[in-house]
A and B are shown apart, each in its own frame.
Chain A
Amino acid sequence: MNSSPLCAGLDIGSLSTEVVVIGPQGIMGYSIVPTGSNIQRAIQSSMEKALKDAGVSQSHLSAVVATGYGRFNLSFPARQVTEITCHGRGASHLFPRTRTVIDLGGQDSKVIILDARRRVVDFVMNDKCAAGTGRFLEVMAGALETCLEEMGSLSLRARKRISISSMCTVFAESEVVSLIAQGASREDIIGGIHDSIASRIYRMAKRLRIEGEITFTGGVAKNLGMVEVLRRRFKASINLPDEPQIVGALGAALIARNSPQPVR
């Protein structure tokens, strides 16, 4: 353990960058910023915001861990840990009985299995295809001329089950356009889109041994329609963090606190 208790975790994803600063009492501050095309600027901006939120400066930090695809792009010393381990750590910190973590990010989705000691024992990822990710929802929102933030609540108003059969995001968008032309209601189509994502995630998850509590993390977890449809699909209650998008960064910060060597 580090003697000074202030640590930071960075989750540098392709769409957003999150930073969490933790202290003896837990989370002291955090930030979420779009990554954009300049990773260095996003890292700097998110660090500044999180540190300001925490009321500390970078020199107060005793260790930093970075995760996400951009984890090797830091200009300051940090240890790199994959987002699988970080999400597992973060989710189990918030919900200690978590055994399954479902993380739906902007461009990838993963299912992580933890043991009773909260260690990752298995995982499966889909980062080759946007279907089942936040990007899929974003494209569909565009096709439906709907605000992304409203997609969840609209899905809950679906009255009819509509199946979106296309696996590919691009073809699914064409399918949605056809459904609109056929007069299907926006709510029903959005309900079908959510079902399609849940179906993909369920099939991915069933390759592993799903047991115990399920915690849902990542930006897509803010979509309450998605939470509901996963709950129905898995026939289980789903733990939902207050801010699901920072769970990876939180896990990274916790690993930083527990690691004796902060720099890789």
Chain B
Amino acid sequence: MIERLIAWLIRRPHYYYLVRGPLRVYYARYANPAFMIWVSFLLRTYKEAFARTRPVIWSSAFVPTELVYGLGGVPVHPEILASLMAYFDISGWFLEKADTRISTDLCSFYRIALGMAMAGFLPQPDLLLSSSTFCDGSNKFFGYLSQLYNVPHFFLDVPYHDGRHGRRYLVDQLKDLTDSIAQLTGIPWRPERMERVVELSNRARGYLLQINDLRKSRPAPFPGSEALSYGVGMMFCSIGTEPSVNFYRALCRFIQQKVDQGAGYLPEEKHRLLWLHHIRPYYPNNIFDVLNGNGAAVVFEEASHVYWPQLDNRAIFESVAQKILSNFSNGPLERRVDNALKMAKTYEVDGAIHFSHWGCRQSCGGASVLADVLKAQGIPCMILDGDGGDPSNYSPGQTQTRLEAFVEMLE
């Protein structure tokens, strides 16, 4: 009954106006204004998606949002929404539903998202768009959703190698894709709309580069735990929009202020850590409390690395293809390993933690190799097994022991 009531409520546009005010008051305690921009962006996106004033395009995490915004659509990212359910500690509700249909060995973000879809918590899509980059579970999941919602599923087949032929192949797909989606939605492809999206994407990228540069400071001015939550959320969902520029500009100013004051986010920074993998557990957990309590700062994370060059308005499809292929998680593991080594040196870390999320074969598969390479370079690396969205796979005592033992190793 409550479930149906909430599902009904969130479909009403006025609901978002009602909650926006109290949320602003509640989150005013955060000194970081960027966080409120994230909250407002989420509310607005969800409202628009349910209002269906624009085509609703469900998009997997590594599809550049510039495409969706350029097509005039509103992107909905089921994985990001799933992480929010975990954040509010209600993912169990949706997992129970989803587990009647799919295996519990799958990524919990997809399981939660399916549960949300089954409960009517997600806006009806007009079409689905996924890519083969990194997250291979997304294609099967989106394929299943296509049947569930009886809507087309567009799939970008990203080549393994970043070369001339691969780029050509991807560019051709992007052109076909935009033509097909424009026909389906009835919204013609307009280069000037895409040019604006590209301009905003490049501006956001500029601020993100500044932020990443500021985060080299000692002590670390901004916690990795926050970068891994709303920082990653904004990166996946908003690039190509004005809110994304506002967000990164605000965050940049906030961090600049901290650096100017010489203020670290920990009272005493004893160890600097690099976080590997794009996610962290989002349900209430003690991981970062344990690290913070032991003076171990997560100074940077691979999720925030700007791996793509500026997009070029003169060659939009080519530069979007370039962005996709530049992802270091695409292709041979050496790319990811080299990137991790560079980040470890740039941010002068004392150690690294690889969060191995249950069901995430593409990241966990290479974790041991990645850890071995880092160790061989004198950078201790711990593989922390866990689950990003399903709290039943989390054990606080065992996790605390591992983290504390790792910190003891660094001392």
Contact = CB atoms under 8 A, between A and B. Distances in A.
A120 interface: yes
Interface in A98-127: 119-123, 125, 127
B180 interface: no
A120 B398 CA distance: 18
A121 B409 contact: yes
B401 interface: yes
A223 interface: no
B24 interface: no
B405 A120 contact: yes
B401 A85 contact: no
B402 A125 contact: yes
A83 interface: yes
A69 B401 contact: yes
Nearest to B403: A82
A207 B404 CA distance: 20
A203 interface: no
A128 interface: yes
Contact of A122 (B380, B401, B404): B380
Given A120-B408, A121-B409, A84 B380 contact: no
B380 A121 contact: yes
A83 B408 CA distance: 11
Contacts of B183: none
B408 A127 contact: no
Interface centre among B368, B402, B404, B408 (most CB of A within 10 A): B408
B291 to A, nearest CB: 14
Contacts of A21: none
Given A122-B380, A128-B395, A84 B368 contact: no
Given A121-B380, A122-B380, A207-B368, A84 B405 contact: yes
Contacts of B395: 127-128
Contact of B408 (A69, A82, A128): A82
A125 to B, nearest CB: 6
Q: How large is the interface on B (under 10, 10 to 19, 20 to 34, 35 or more residues)?
A: 10 to 19
Given A84-B408, A120-B408, A125 B368 contact: no
A81 interface: yes
Given A82-B404, A121-B380, A122-B380, A69 B409 contact: no
A230 B408 CA distance: 28
A262 B273 CA distance: 27
Interface residue SS majority, chain A? mixed
A85 B408 contact: yes
B368 A120 contact: no
A165 B87 CA distance: 39
B373 to A, nearest CB: 13
Interface string B335-374: 0000000000000000000000000000000001000000
Nearest to A124: B383
A177 B248 CA distance: 63
Contacts of A121: 380, 409
B409 A120 contact: yes
A80 B405 CA distance: 11
A125 B409 contact: no
B397 interface: yes
B355 to A, nearest CB: 16
Contacts of A128: 385, 395, 398
A125 B402 CA distance: 8
Contacts of B409: 85, 119-123
Interface string B258-269: 000000000000
Contacts of A207: 368
Interface string A193-227: 00000000000000100000000000000000000
Nearest to B401: A82
B405 A123 contact: yes
Interface of B: 368, 375, 380, 385, 395, 397-398, 401-402, 404-405, 408-409
8 contacts: A82-B404, A82-B405, A83-B401, A123-B409, A125-B402, A127-B401, A128-B385, A128-B398
Given A84-B405, A120-B405, A125-B402, 6 more contacts: A81-B408, A83-B401, A119-B409, A120-B408, A121-B409, A123-B405
